[in-house]
């Protein structure tokens, strides 16, 4: 059911410092910050040859990342993301297996413009899992 590994997300207490570290110390290509109000975060993507690292920073006082950083003031890995071909089929299969989908269970649009869902970390050995519907391949001309 799961496909490619899409990204690992790291919550950071200082987005500018994190960007500087990835750019200047590690020499990585880093995107511009992107606010995602529906998710309560500002994101920056670190582009790697085989995947991405998503840096998360709270957007507003009600951000779930703020709560994470309150418990982990130095930051840390927040979630991992896998791609799926059809997010609704994946959701229904997971729910039928007893896995808990967070929130309403309806996908939201994520930072890549694709539908996403999050799965309860207690069902996946302490790891918050994001599923992202992979983009459909472009039609052949």
The tokens describing 5, both together, are 């590994």
Q: Which residue among 36, 47, 54, 130 is the active-site one?
A: 130
Active site (annotated) includes residue 130: yes
The pair phi, psi for residue 128, each rounded to 5°, is -70, 125
What residues pair up with 35 in beta bridges, in sequence order? 42
Cβ distance 19 to 75 under 8 Å? no
Helix locations, 13-130, DSSP H: 15-20, 64-71, 87-96
Phi-psi region of 82 (alpha: psi -120 to 50; beta: other; left: phi over 0): beta
Going by DSSP bridges, is the β-strand pair 76-84/52-58 parallel, antiparallel, or unpaired?
unpaired
Active site residues: 130
């Amino acid at each position: 059911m799961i496909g490619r590994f899409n990204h690992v997300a790291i919550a950071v207490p200082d987005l500018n410092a994190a960007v500087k570290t990835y750019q200047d110390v590690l020499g990585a290509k880093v995107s511009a910050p992107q606010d995602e109000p529906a998710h309560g975060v500002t994101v920056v993507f670190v582009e790697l040859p085989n995947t991405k690292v998503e840096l998360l920073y709270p957007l507003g006082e009600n951000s779930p990342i703020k709560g994470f950083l309150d418990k982990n003031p130095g930051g840390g890995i927040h979630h991992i993301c896998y791609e799926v071909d059809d997010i609704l089929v994946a959701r229904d299969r997971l729910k039928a297996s007893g896995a808990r989908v967070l929130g309403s269970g309806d996908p939201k649009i994520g930072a890549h413009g694709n539908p996403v869902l999050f799965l309860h970390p207690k069902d996946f050995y302490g790891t918050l899992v994001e599923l992202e519907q992979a983009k459909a391949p472009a039609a052949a001309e």
